[in-house]
Each structure stands twice: as C-alpha cells, then as structure tokens.
Structure 1
Amino acid sequence: MKTVKILIVLLTALLLSCKENTLKKESKHTAILNLNVFPEKGLVDAHSIIKDGRLYVFCGHDESWDTEDTWRMNRWEIWSTDNLINWKKENEILPTDTYIGDKPNCWAGDIIERDGKYYWYFSNKNKDTGVMVADSPKGPFVDALGKPLLPEGIIGKLHPYDPEIYEENGVYTIFFGAGYYFAATLNNNMISLAEKPKSIIVLDENGKDMWTADKPCIFKRNDIYYLIWEKKYAMSKNLRGPYTFKGASLKEGHCNVFEWEGQYYALLENKDISLFYRGISIKPLYFNEDGTLNIPRDDTSYPANGRKWDFDISEMGWHSVEGSNLIWNKNKSIKGEILGNTTIESSRWLLTDLKKHDTLVLRLKNKSAATKAMVSLASYTSKGAFWKNNKPLNWEKAVNIEIEITANDINFKEYLINLEEYPELEVQLERLRITPALGVKEGSWEIDKISIE
C-alpha cells in the first residue's frame, strides 16, 4: 500500500509538472496583438527579417503629420526587437544615400539576406525600384547600382515599384507592381535580373483576370503560396501562380508576414494620425484547416472607433491657426493663451466615418469670460483618389456648431455634440477646427480630449 501511495504522489507530481510546463509553453507563445506599435512616429510600410533571435523591421517615414496632398516620405528607419514588445531604433537610411537624391520618395521596400549580405530593395516613390547592400541588417547600407534595378518602362506603362523578395531553394524572386503584379528571378549577385519580368495572374471567383492594388505580399505555409494586397488575398500551389482570389484578409494595408515562435504575424499599415501620417500594426495571422485565412470577427483597423486625441505623447495632429499659441502640457493636454480670435485645427484627411460615429466629445478648461465655443467640421464624400484634387479647404462650407460653455473654469468640463442633428455633414470627416473661446480677446484655454465616437 505504501508503494502504491508513493506511485500516486509521483504520478500526481509528474502530471502537475507537465501541466505547468504546458502552461509556460502556452504563455511563451501567446499571440501578440498591437494595433499601433509606434504611435506618432509616422512609420509605415514595415518589412521584416529575423537574424540571431531579433526581428528587424525596415519602415518608411512619413515626413510630416501636416501633409495634405500625397505621401511624402523622407527616410527609412530600421527598428529591432527580441520579443515583439520592446523596440530599439537601429539606424536610418536617407534618400541622399541613394540615386533618389534629396526627394521625399522613400516608399515601400523589402529586405533579404544572401551569403552574409543584406539587400534592401526600395521604391523611388511609384517610379522605379533600386537596391542597397550592407554587411549587417543594421547597416550602413550603400546603393549597389547608383541607378534603378527596375527602371521606368521595364513593364511598359505600368509602374515598377513596391518590391517583395521571396527565396526558395536558393532561388530569389522579386515581385513588384500595382494593380497587376510582375516577377523576375534575381541573378546570384542580387543586383541584376536573370530574366525579363513576367506577369503574375490573379483570377477572380469567375476565373477572370483580376485587378489588385499596390504592394504585393508573398509567403508560403505548408504547400500553399499566399498573395496579400489591400485587405484581400489569393492562394496558389505555384509561386508564380495563377493565384485564385479567396476574399478578405486582415483589415489595414501594405502587409508583411513573418513567423515568430511558431506563430504567423502580419505587419500592417494603419492611419495613426491621418491619411498621410500613418503607423504600423502587428496582428496574429490564423488559418483554417483548408489553408484559407481565418479572420477574427473582431478584426479591426486603427483607429478602431472613430478618432481620438488624448495628448498622451504630444500635441501631434493639432496646431494653432490664429489668435493663440498651442503648446503640449506634460499633464496630457494642449493649451494656449488667447491673443485675439483664437482657432486651432487638426490634420487633414482624418478618414472617419460620420455615419458610424455620431458623437463629438470635447473636454475643455475655459479660463476666460467666454460663454460659447465653436466646433467646425469639414466633411466630404470619398470617391477614388479624393485627395488629388487638393484645393485649399473652403471653411465657409463647413458645418459650424456653437456650444454653450462655462466661464472661468477651474476644472475640465466635458461637452457632447450629437452629429446626427446635422444632416448636412457628408460621409467622411476631413478636418476639424475648434474656437475654444468665442468673442473674447484675452484669457487662456486647455483641452485634454477631443474625440469622434
């Protein structure tokens, strides 16, 4: 009997140990979800490489949160992590380090290693594609050609940019293009093509050739190749296709997929501040038994619910238009002295659906004799590349909403505006203006929250 009790104790201890080890293993591999990895840094177009237990991410940098007309990207930045949580900035690559010169054309690229060398393939805006080389993923990187690897005209009138590099069995293939994709094998030197680019066919559900978008993302899992673009994806048994369209991918754009500790992840573009000042999300990528993507029901893009400014990090996204300075308070607010008719303004192209988010929240501390404030909303109907017709915003057509406020506040007061009461608002929010103190010429104001909910 004593022997039996000892065996039971040992078996119980063994089971508890196995359970504890299993829990530790599950904890170690718990999938990480971060909808905004680098808030307010303007980093986007992330592409990754894993070396010696570190993930290196190469990102383009949006030049300014106040850009209104196009994607102006003034450098690439290299960041790394060993846990997908804590990040270290490693280096920068400037357009002046390449044949691009002093132009904000640092669009998307891709990074890959071969024989101890690291090759950074980069877009010169949407014009062409170049290549740089380094001895480390941290750089420094040197322009390998001093001219494009994929020059204008190589695929006719289409644009040879947004490269994606895929390696299999020692063969390196460069994919690129927008709308229609092309691929070519790279020579062993990695800075020249072994063949003329050939088109990649993507078929829709009816078996017809399909128009896609920019920035192809290619990866393989089991025996299936995946092609992802702008919230959609296709699958194939062959690297060069044809690919068959399957449906929606994860929300957000410009995808890059990597595997970390047995879990697939997608790096995605988000709209952190606005259309032209973006950020990066990390989302786990799941699969069904048949290999198709398993998209969570609660998958969302950032910012997920309307748009919110709580000024935790800086005043980014807001500036003074007239009658006041605007400074960031480390107590997580923005404030200014009233020096006349005072107006502050957000960035442009806020991409917020006013039919789904119908409440504007303003938390204001009014240190003046004013009893009214005004919120102005400029809105638009999104059709095609709406920003290309970049005329100065006509604020006379904006919806102006006056609100009653208390004078000479000691504490913040919260004011709610029901946007459903203003049917003249169009679908998308373009820009906000706030006059925190109407009709006074002195005093001060402070705001610690502005949101569309």
Structure 2
Amino acid sequence: MSVLLCLVVVTPAPARADNPIVQTSYTADPAPLVHNGRVYLYTGHDEDGSTYFTMRDWRVWSSADLVNWTDHDSPLSLTTFAWASADAWAGQAIYRDGRFYWYVPVKNRATGRMAIGVAVSQSPTGPFQDALGRPLLENGEIDPTVFIDDTGQAYLHWGNPNLWYVRLNADMTSFSGAPTQVPLTAAGFGARSGNPSRPTLYEEGPWVYKRNGVYYNVFAAECCSEFIAYSTAPGPTGPWTYRGTVMPRQGGSFTNHAGVIDFNGGSYFFYHNGALPGGGGYTRSVAVEKFSYHPDGTIPTMSMTTAGAPQVGTLNPFARQEAETIAWETGVETEPSSEGGMNVGWIENGDWIKVKGAAFGNGAASFTARVASATSGGRIELRLGGPDGTLVGTCTVPGTGGWQTWTTVTCPTAGATGTRDLYLRFAGGSGYLLNINWWQFATGGGPAELPLRRASTLGVS
C-alpha cells in the first residue's frame, strides 16, 4: 500500500459472485501461505469508513478449496508490538522449523519512522508474539516480503521508495550483513516518465518468490493509481529484468498489492480492489484469480473478475463446519465466540450465508447447529442453489438468554443430494435474531455428540 496521499474517485461496480473473497470486513495487502493442504491468507484490515490508511491489526483466513474461507480473527495487532504506535500495513508470513514468522511494517513510537517488526507463532492462525521486543530493522521504508531459497537461505526484501534486501539467519529473527539497496534501473524495473525522483516503475509492495529455477519480483507499479508489474532474475538478489504488466489499473482502489502461490496443481494471483459496498482506496477488499504461466515461465496479463478462482474439490457438509466458513454472505458479521474461535452474528431477517460446492452425495437426513439468541430467536432455512432456492430443511432457533449462551438445535432435512451450493438463509421478526457458531449435516440418526468447546478443524493448535 502506498504512503502517498493520492486520491482517485472511482465508483465501484456492485460485488457479485465470489470475488472479493471476504465480505464481512475490509481487507488489503494479501499474503497467501500454503501449509498442510490449506491456504492461509494474511491480510491487512482497513477500518470501516476510513479516509486514510487507518489500520490497527492484521487478519487471517484459511481455505482448503479457495472459495470457502474461514475467518480466524486478528492474531496480530499494533498492541503486539509495545514499541509500535500506528500503521499496521502490508506484511507477509512464512513457515520454518515448526514456527510461523510474520514480518510487518509499523511506525516506531520512539523514532516516528516506519520499521519492520517480526512476530512468531507455533500455529498459522496465531496468536503471534513479538519475537524481538524491538524492530528487526528500520530505515523508514515498508512492505516486507520473505522467501526461503532451495539452499535454505532466507531473504527479506522491502521498500518504498527504494528496494532493499537482507539475508536472514536461520533463526529468522536476525540477519547477516548490512541491508543492501537494489539498483532500480529501467532495464530491471521499467521506465517511468515525468517523475525524476522515481525514474522506474517500481513503487512498493514487492512479492519475491522462486519457481522452476526463476526468481520473480511482482510489485505495485507507478502510483497513483497503481498497476501490478513484475521482473525476473537468475538469482534471489538479481540482476532483475523487467517483464511487463500482470494486472492493469482497475478496481476502484488507487493501490494494489500482489501475492502469488502454487496450490494443488494450480497457480493463483491474489490482489485487492475497492469492489465491496463502501469500498475505495482506503476501504479495500482481497480477491483472487487462477492463472497459468506461459511455457517460457512468463506471467500472463490478467484482469480482475467477480467470479474469482474455481473451487478446488468440494466441501464436506457431514463434517462440522464453522459458521464463519463463507463463500459469500449478505448482512452478517463475525465476532469472537465464548466457545473459542469465531461465530457469525448480527443476523437479521433475510440475511444469508453461501457455502459453495457442498457434497451431499446420496442425501442428508438432518442438520444440527450450535446457536444462541438474546431475543426470541428465529429460523435457519436450508436452501440449495440460491437464497430463494429449493428449501430442504428449516431449523427453529429459540431464545437462549444471551448472544453467547449456546445451545444445539437439530432438524430433519430432505432433498439435499449431489454437490450443490448451500445457503443458510435466516428468517424471523425484526432486529437481530440469532448467532450461529457451527453446523453439520448427518446422513441419518443425527450427528455424533459434539463437545461444547470448539475443537480445531485444521489439525493445528
């Protein structure tokens, strides 16, 4: 994200389909990480109604299929770093030797300059702790990206207006040698006209990675507004050769920020735009596209879509699913649950949650949900294909005496077969109706008894 006060007034198109991939809050600066068969997406968090880059924490989401994303709340914030005062901007996390290291830029309270901090956790979803109690490095610049080469050597690149790198030590919290400034040449990063202080297209937000022996640097180019460009090199520190545009200027945000991964045999490009209602340059949303490299390893130019990436596999509705696992929603929000993790709340009549590609097979006989209500409750209508689609069951939720006073309800279902998009549509009177923590279908006889304490569905602590 840019630190320049540029403002481009754009009227965003209405959001449709499955992009942006998160609709319950504004997200920015995506940093995807593949770990144990899931994609963990680390993002910034634009505050509602922001008129600047007002960002106080970071968020984590995860998915096994790239369409149904689970909200893991905020395991890292400015308060994690006692020495930080503001600006929880674009970072990236990486896994090494049983730990996850998250590199982020924040403003150092003592100096008033931007610095790079590093937080550590034993889980991809946190909580994260300040690894050092001080900045890892500080030169007033932002946007760290990290990768580990095949040799085991880790590199941290960062910078706006310049581009820098250091060689991280194996502990991932220290580095060898002094920071090295990368020469920004037209041959390496493309030529910019009309700005003598910024002669190349490089602006900020580098994303450095290696694929099939080629090193890539995908970056935000030429503010403002920005597009996404990239360069390649034979080594992790260059020399870089400019290759062209990945994503043109689009999408209702005057910044953009890329993250690129390979997952389950496909390649995916993450970015942000201003496509959600109220969205813009300071209220952004993360989206994703699937793409294929050209045979020579170059990246195609791609456009933003509302369709997003295709689903990888299916979702199992007979396993317990967190209610905050969502492909698309309207009206709801998420919050921390007293039973652990998150729950969906602020549910009113007509709101709904879409879960894409639920594999019902030969059919489901019942539906169970963990619910709470401080009012008189409401109903969960189970529909296929759309919020007004085929009704296959209705669960009545009673008042429980509190929004975090949980009970379990079960109702019969009929007609849920095959692989279908499932909609949980909420109905009832006026005002807020209910909260929902998790849900699960059963083929017959009801689901097995489940503990009240939320167990991890990810196989991690």
Q: Provide the C-alpha distance between the structure 1 equivalents of 2:239 and 2:158, rounded to a whole number of angstroms.
A: 16
Aligned length in residues: 273
Q: Secondary structure of the residue that 1:61 maps to in structure 2?
A: strand
Identify which of 100, 121, 143 aligns with 1:162: 143
Q: Provide the C-alpha distance between the structure 2 equivalents of 1:104 and 1:40, rounded to a whole number of angstroms.
A: 23
Q: Is the 8 A contact 1:75 1:104 kept in 2?
A: no
Deviation at 1:200, TM superposition (A): 2.1
Identify which of 279, 295, 300 aligns with 2:285: 279
Q: Secondary structure of the residue that 2:89 maps to in structure 1?
A: strand
Q: Cα gap change, 1:237/1:124 in structure 2, threshold over 3 Å: closer, same or farther?
A: same
Q: Secondary structure of the residue that 2:31 maps to in structure 1?
A: strand
Letter of the 1:197 partner, please give it: P
Q: Is the 8 A contact 2:100 2:124 kept in 1?
A: yes
**Match for residue 300 of structure 1?**
304
Q: Provide the C-alpha distance between the structure 2 equivalents of 1:150 and 1:112, rounded to a whole number of angstroms.
A: 18
1:235 counterpart = 2:222: no
Q: Provide the C-alpha distance between the structure 2 equivalents of 1:190 and 1:221, rounded to a whole number of angstroms.
A: 22
Q: Provide the C-alpha distance between the structure 2 equivalents of 1:267 and 1:205, rounded to a whole number of angstroms.
A: 26
Letter of the 1:121 partner, please give it: Y
Deviation at 1:290, TM superposition (A): 2.3
Letter of the 2:260 partner, please give it: V
**Match for residue 80 of structure 2?**
97
- Which of the pair is proportionally richer in helix? 1
**Match for residue 320 of structure 1?**
none
Q: Provide the C-alpha distance between the structure 2 equivalents of 1:301 and 1:232, rounded to a whole number of angstroms.
A: 18
Q: Secondary structure of the residue that 2:147 maps to in structure 1?
A: strand
Deviation at 1:201, TM superposition (A): 3.1
Q: Cα gap change, 1:143/1:292 in structure 2, threshold over 3 Å: closer, same or farther?
A: same
TM score, norm. by length of structure 2: 0.54
5+ residue gaps, structure 1, are: 1-32, 154-158, 305-311, 317-327, 333-453
Q: Secondary structure of the residue that 1:214 maps to in structure 2?
A: strand
Q: Secondary structure of the residue that 2:156 maps to in structure 1?
A: strand
Q: Secondary structure of the residue that 1:277 maps to in structure 2?
A: coil
Q: Is the 8 A contact 2:18 2:307 kept in 1?
A: no
5+ residue gaps, structure 2, are: 1-16, 108-112, 192-198, 221-227, 251-255, 309-328, 334-346, 352-461
**Match for residue 132 of structure 1?**
119
Deviation at 1:220, TM superposition (A): 1.8
Q: Secondary structure of the residue that 1:180 maps to in structure 2?
A: coil
Divergent runs of 4+, >4 A: 205-209, 301-304, 328-332
**Match for residue 41 of structure 1?**
25
Q: Secondary structure of the residue that 2:72 maps to in structure 1?
A: strand
Identify which of 176, 179, 200 aligns with 1:197: 179
**Match for residue 222 of structure 1?**
212
Q: Please give the residue correspondences for 1:268-417 in structure 2 after superposition, counting only pairs within 5 Å.
A: 268-271=271-274, 272=276, 273-296=279-302, 299-300=303-304, 313-314=330-331
CA deviations over 1:226-264 (Å, ceiling 9, x no partner): 111121111111211121112111246211111111111
TM score, norm. by length of structure 1: 0.55
Letter of the 2:142 partner, please give it: Y
Deviation at 1:45, TM superposition (A): 1.2
Deviation at 1:165, TM superposition (A): 0.4
Q: Secondary structure of the residue that 2:176 maps to in structure 1?
A: coil
1:84 counterpart = 2:82: no
CA RMSD of aligned residues (A): 2.9
Q: Is the 8 A contact 1:179 1:211 kept in 2?
A: no
Deviation at 1:279, TM superposition (A): 0.4
Q: Provide the C-alpha distance between the structure 2 equivalents of 1:301 and 1:229, rounded to a whole number of angstroms.
A: 20
**Match for residue 110 of structure 1?**
92
Q: Provide the C-alpha distance between the structure 2 equivalents of 1:217 and 1:109, rounded to a whole number of angstroms.
A: 10
Q: Which has the larger radius of gyration?
A: 1
The structure with higher relative contact order (CA 8 Å, sep 6+) is: 2
Letter of the 1:137 partner, please give it: P
